[in-house]
Amino acid sequence: MFDIYRKVPKDLTQPTYTGAFISICCCVFMLFLFLSELTGFIATEIVNELYVDDPDKDSGGKIDVSLNISLPNLHCDLVGLDIQDEMGRHEVGHIENSMKVPLNNGHGCRFEGEFSINKVPGNFHVSTHSATAQPQSPDMTHIIHKLAFGEKLQVQHVRGAFNALGGANRLQSNALASHDYILKIVPTVYEDLGGKQRFSYQYTVANKEYVAYSHTGRIIPAIWFRYDLSPITVKYTERRQPFYRFITTICAIIGGTFTVAGIIDSCIFTASEAWKKIQIGKMS
């Protein structure tokens, strides 16, 4: 009496070709939906959100910077990196974790450096300020290969401006011109399925080119990177569909498909029987 799945004896059922066709289509359709849901269950979804916070509080108020720039018309002895900010830092000729590679038979230079900046507005610039003797006409035409902040994120489905200046080519600009790159740095957090977080920074950039004169009337060009931090943090989180939701969806697919297919088969069978009765009535 408690059986809600009452059985109908087989001798009271009637198989039809229409029912067989609908059954096959029903199974194929359910298999397609099942595979689609299985693919979605296995795949990882990346959700992003925005909030106001300083995510990397363990960094000691520092941001790691990676810079790779080529100056094909400036000797390596003249190239230097200067760093200054609103906390009073003023460093001329930063050399720690940096490397200079001669280009064009020594007439040019590629500067590669990794350094840290404070989480306050400031700037760092490539110039000849640290050289013992200033050249008469320094050529600051350049190519920026890389400028990145924080950890490197290699995630396939995350698109962002982590190296917005990568590939910037200023070889055709005025040789004596200074270049100002104004950066707005946006903290970015990536959290994987295991809960591990990686901290990086995206940035937007605007630039201008101008000729600057010193108080002595000489032209001393430089490549300036002026930065400020955004209070908004972007967070990417890896998520996977819960197993209970996957099972619920599969049950809905099976039950819904069988129900709809049963209604269609019942309508076709009823219409077919009615048509047979009409034909018998005409014949009689």
CA 215 to chain centre: 45
DSSP 25: H
Which residues touch 97 (CB under 8 Å, ≥6 apart)? Answer: 113, 114, 115
- What are the pLDDT digits (tens) for 97-136? 999 999 999 899 999 999 999 999 999 999 998 888 888 8
Cα 193 from Cα 188, distance rounded (Å): 17
- What are the pLDDT digits (tens) for 10-21? 766 677 777 788
| φ/ψ bin of 164: left (φ > 0), alpha (ψ from -120 to 50), beta (otherwise) | alpha
Give strand ranges (E) for the chain.
Answer: 45-52, 62-71, 80-85, 90-91, 98-103, 108-118, 122-127, 143-150, 168-169, 178-191, 197-210, 223-229, 232-239
Beta pairing partners, 186 = 202
- Which has the closest alpha carbon to 69: 140, 158, 150, 174? 140
Which residues touch 225 (CB under 8 Å, ≥6 apart)? Answer: 123, 124, 125, 147, 181, 183
pLDDT at 208: 93
pLDDT at 239: 83
User: Which DSSP helix (H) or strand (E) runs through 18?
Assistant: helix 17-42
Instruction: Output the CA torsion sign for 14, 18, 22, 28.
Output: positive
pTM exceeds cut of 0.85: no
Cα 75 from Cα 101, distance rounded (Å): 10
Helix/strand/coil for 6: coil
pLDDT at 63: 93
Q: Give how far Cα 45 sits from Cα of 34, 104, 120, 243, Å.
A: 18, 47, 34, 14
In the chain, % of residues over pLDDT 70: 94
- What are the pLDDT digits (tens) for 240-259? 888 888 888 888 888 888 88
Q: For the chain, which residues make up each domain, given as ranges?
A: 10-43+241-280, 53-231
Per-residue exposure over 74-84, b if at least 16 CB sit within 10 Å of its own CB, e if not: bbbebbbbbbe
pLDDT at 273: 76
DSSP one-letter string for 224-267 = EEEEEE-SEEEEEEEE---HHHHHHHHHHHHHHHHHHHHHHHHH
pLDDT at 214: 74
- Angle of helix 243-283 relative to helix 17-42, nearest 10 degrees? 170
For the chain, state the CA radius of gyration. Answer: 34
Which residue positions in the chain have pLDDT lower than 50?
A: none
